[in-house]
Amino acid sequence: MFFKDVIGQERLKRQLIHNFKQQRTGHALLFYGSEGTGTVALSLAFARYILCVNRTDGDACGACASCIKMNKLAHPDLHFFFPSAPNQEHKKEVSSKLFVNQWRELLLDTPYFSYFQWLQKLGVENKQAIINAEDCNDIIRVLGMKSYESPYRIIYIYMVDKLYYSAAPKILKILEEPPQNTIFLMMSDNKDRILNTILSRTQIMRIPPPGEEEIAGGLTEKFGIEPKKAREASFLADGSVSDALKYCYRDEEQMADLESFRSWMLACFRNKQDDIIDWVNDIATAGREKQRSFFLYGLNIFRMCLLQNYDAETLIRTGEQERAFIKKFARYVNHRNIIQIVEAFNLAIVHLDRNANARILFSDLSFRVHSLMRAGTG
């Protein structure tokens, strides 16, 4: 990944290069932005730039020994850490070093991926992945040795908000005062979930969503998407490159979410308890990240229903089938109940993040939604 391969973010590219040349790069950078905006792509391009030995004014050279190693993400002074969990191959204690090959495969395929895609790559969709104490021990071990080739060493931590709270104290000292020429590059899409002791030791770089034209151009130029389809996907994605790629390649999954949500809302409105229980039993087996993603999908549908009710259809970003559903469903989501519905869904996300029982959580929410939808038609 080069800076030229990152979609949009031109100001931040220049800022990163300028700060590095002026020796003003912080020893711990947090690339913070919504999922799919380019936190991984931008930080990976910056890692290449730091390690390159023949940097140009605007990018890494692409020809030096360091860049050749970076083409395979195999530079010995770039150390990856990321959330992991036991899977079929590794059933006991795990750490990032056991899954580095899967990590490289995903990055080399595209740096614009979702956290759920990473869990799918590991085969742990139904588990909660963390950055654990063994990972923290490995960070300390790595920084206790000299660099191999580059003057710099980079500790690259994906989704630092998944750092297990009891493991974090192990790296606080070294994060605050790392060895010379050590740079921590960390990513997150949820700053509020990062431990304050970690957050206070970082320089935060906010990554804004790329514009529609930037995403459309990037899809065509870098992924070979037909221009018309790229423009439609960029409009629907609302600033997320990974979502835009989903719209281009994964229509079946989008329709599955719509059909599941439509069936759930119909069962809730009619108070068909058998159908609700069947649906709850099905979603309860999906895994927490998938469940959380489904909650967010529902919140987006409710938001678009509100836009429909206020004659702001030009702001609705969705495909034809979802748009047809929203036109019918919007009558049940209005000023009478929208605040309570959103609060109920957001509270459910909080409980899900705190390991609530999925069956109890979704059942309770279903009956709450029933009463709120009835109130919306009163």
**Residue that terminates a domain, selected from 208, 240, 259:** 208
> What integer pLDDT is reported at residue 312 of this predicted model?
75
Residues 324 and 312 in one domain: yes
Do 91 and 197 fall into the same domain? yes
pLDDT in tens, the chain (378 residues): 899 999 989 999 999 999 999 888 889 999 999 888 889 999 999 999 999 999 988 899 999 999 999 999 999 999 999 999 888 778 777 889 999 999 999 999 889 888 888 888 888 876 788 999 999 999 999 998 888 888 999 999 999 999 988 888 889 989 888 999 999 999 998 888 888 989 989 999 999 988 888 888 888 988 888 888 888 778 777 788 888 887 776 555 566 788 888 899 999 888 888 999 999 998 888 877 778 878 888 888 888 888 888 877 666 666 677 788 888 888 888 888 888 989 998 898 888 878 888 899 999 999 998 988 887 675
Which of 198, 225, 249 is the C-terminal boundary of a domain? 249
Asked if 183 and 20 count as a contact pair (C-beta separation under 8 A), the reply is no
pTM, to two decimals: 0.74
Do residues 150 and 13 both lie within one domain? Answer: yes
pLDDT value for 48: 95
- Residue (of 247, 196, 185, 177) closest to 219 by Cα position: 247
Look up the domain containing 322 and give its range.
Answer: 251-376
* Judgement on whether residues 203 and 217 belong to the same structural domain of the protein: no
Phi, psi of 130 (to 5 degrees): -140, 160
- Predicted pLDDT at 251: 53
CA dihedral 135, 139, 144, 147 (to 10 degrees): 130
- Same domain for 194 and 297, yes or no, is no
Whether residues 226 and 280 fall in one domain: no
Q: What is the pLDDT of residue 41?
A: 93
Which CATH number covers residue 13?
A: 3.40.50.300
Count of structural domains within the chain: 3
The reply to whether 185 and 300 lie within a common domain is no
Last residue of a domain, one of 151, 182, 208: 208
Q: Rounded to an integer, what distance in angstroms lies between the CA atom of residue 282 and that of residue 87?
A: 22
Residues 171 and 47 occupy one common structural domain: yes
Q: What angle do CA 157, 242, 96 make, to 5 degrees?
A: 25
- 43, 144: one domain: yes
**Cα separation of 232 and 307, whole Å?**
19
* Distance (Å, whole) CA 211 – CA 132: 36
Indicate if 194 and 79 belong to the same structural domain: yes
Residues 225 and 177 placed together within one structural domain of the fold: no
So what's the pLDDT on residue 86? 86
User: What's the confidence (pLDDT) of residue 164?
Assistant: 87
Question: Residue 242: its pLDDT value, please?
Answer: 82
Q: Are residues 220 and 302 in the same domain?
A: no
> At CA 296, angle to CA 290 and CA 302, rounded to 5?
140
